[in-house]
Amino acid sequence: MTHSQPNRRLFVLGTAMLPLIAACSKTSNDYDGTSGNFTPYQAGGETSAATRPAPTNSPTVAAAGNPVDKPREWPGIGNSLVGDGKYVAWTVDDGASPEAIRGYAEFSKRTNTRLTFFINASYTGFKEHVSLLRPLVQSGQIQVANHTYNHADLTTLDAEGVKEELQRNEDEIMSMFGVSSKPYFRPPYGRYNDAVLKAAGEIGFTRPVMWNGTTGDEAKTSSRVIYMRCIRYMLPQQIVLGHLNYETIIPILDKVKGLIDDRGLTAVTVRDYYGDASEEEIKAAAPSPTPTPEENT
């Protein structure tokens, strides 16, 4: 069974708020406009993604200044921040715009807003701004998580292809920041299936993170519409999706932060809220050892 979040390419026209289409998918719209939540998409077949520009034991970062008193239990698929609370996870994907990367990083540094970047390290903007980003990443204020190297639709790849996309991205992240992205990853277009989860888990990516709201900044949407979406989705216990691909949102980041503050919410990273994978979780996902000839006799 293949799962997907809704289509990333449709957006609000004029002043009417059409049913919101979350980013990172080319599948049909399955947004439930009455409930304000996204429902998993079960594809009957593969949908090709739009063309877009060996595991290591790597250190993770201690989340300095983590506002969450203790990690919550991981739910299996991270569609939201489970449990009661007044937290919001503001996540941003991709990295096509160096200016957007810099804008978000400067905003985080200036306001102490905690963000989760699900990056494609194939984009050069991260290296361009690595000196700005590295202290924020190493302190845990910005969590860098894995979104594959080339923004590949993982459901179209075999197990080795899935591992290559995630591991290549992990290697680049380690090279730039000295911090592992494990165990968190976001499958591009929100598309995954059991084979993807198995392959990812075998190299330490045991925690797929989805979303249940979006800023809608995946295209050249106006800042007014983006802010309307923030009003709708910056709510308690939401995982909100944004992008590092366009600069439209950058001038209103402080306004969005004001909205979060006015609602009494605290922005957290996904790692802040759920912590790191336990040894038991990692071992359970690891591939079974190949039997020796003696064991087969």
How many independent structural domains does the chain possess? 1
Answer yes or no: is 59 within a domain. Answer: no
Q: Which stretches of the chain are DSSP H helices?
A: 98-111, 125-128, 130-139, 159-177, 194-202, 223-233, 253-262, 270-274, 279-285, 293-296
Answer yes or no: is 183 within a domain. Answer: yes
Q: What is the pLDDT at residue 65?
A: 86
Phi, psi at 94, each rounded to 5°: 75, -120
The CATH number of the domain holding residue 108 is: 3.20.20.370
Residue range 35-58: average pLDDT?
A: 35
Answer yes or no: is 32 within a domain. Answer: no
Q: What is the pLDDT of residues 93-130, one digit of tens each?
A: 999 999 999 999 999 999 999 999 999 999 999 999 99
What would the DSSP string read from start to end of 82-116? -SS-SEEEEEEEE---HHHHHHHHHHHHHH---EE
- Rounded Cα distance, 215 and 80, in Å: 15
Q: What is the pLDDT of residues 63-104, one digit of tens each?
A: 458 999 999 999 999 999 999 999 999 999 999 999 999 999
Residue 91 pairs with which residues in a beta bridge?
116, 241
- Rounded Cα distance, 250 and 106, in Å: 10
- Residue ranges making up the domain that contains 169: 78-287
Answer yes or no: is 11 within a domain. Answer: no
Answer yes or no: is 132 within a domain. Answer: yes
100 Ramachandran zone, left/alpha/beta (phi>0; psi -120 to 50): alpha
pTM of this prediction exceeds 0.85: no
- Rounded Cα distance, 257 and 267, in Å: 9
Answer yes or no: is 33 within a domain. Answer: no
Answer yes or no: is 4 within a domain. Answer: no
| pLDDT higher than 70, residue 170 | yes
Answer yes or no: is 22 within a domain. Answer: no
